Amino acid sequence: MDENPPGLSRLTIQGYVFFDPNVTLTLSAEYIVVMGQGVLAAGSPGQPFNGSLTIVLNGTRQTPDWALTNTVNMGAKVRNRAGLCGCRVTVCGPLPPP
């Protein structure tokens, strides 16, 4: 991702979303779910994220729950990694000076 998307209601990641490591970004949504083999990544050990990233969850107490299945209810204003199948959320920044 190399530019700010518009505010989102629901974001389901089942593929690969990588934030450009040299850009200032804001991701804003009521729900963000990474599932299946999905990956949400900001930087990596070999290429640290040097930009500025803000992730905003916009839900309120009145935001309805999000039922993913008949047995899994996300609730509201939740960041979740539904890690049943190997999905990942990673954030790697530069190492602090010694």
Residue 61: per-residue pLDDT: 72
Q: 43 and 20 in contact (C-beta within 8 Å)?
A: no
Q: 19 and 25 in contact (C-beta within 8 Å)?
A: yes
Quick: pLDDT tens for 34-85: 888 888 999 888 888 888 889 888 877 777 777 666 666 666 555 555 555 5
In a domain, 43, yes or no: yes
Structure tokens at 33: 């779910």
In a domain, 35, yes or no: yes
Q: Domain limits at 36?
A: 8-91
What total number of domains does the chain contain? Answer: 1
Residue 29: per-residue pLDDT: 87
Q: Confidence band (pLDDT; 50, 70, 90) for 26?
A: very high
Query: What predicted TM-score, i.e. pTM, was given to this entire model?
Result: 0.73
Residue 81: per-residue pLDDT: 52
Distance separating alpha carbons of residues 90 and 52, to the nearest angstrom: 15
Q: Confidence band (pLDDT; 50, 70, 90) for 15?
A: very high
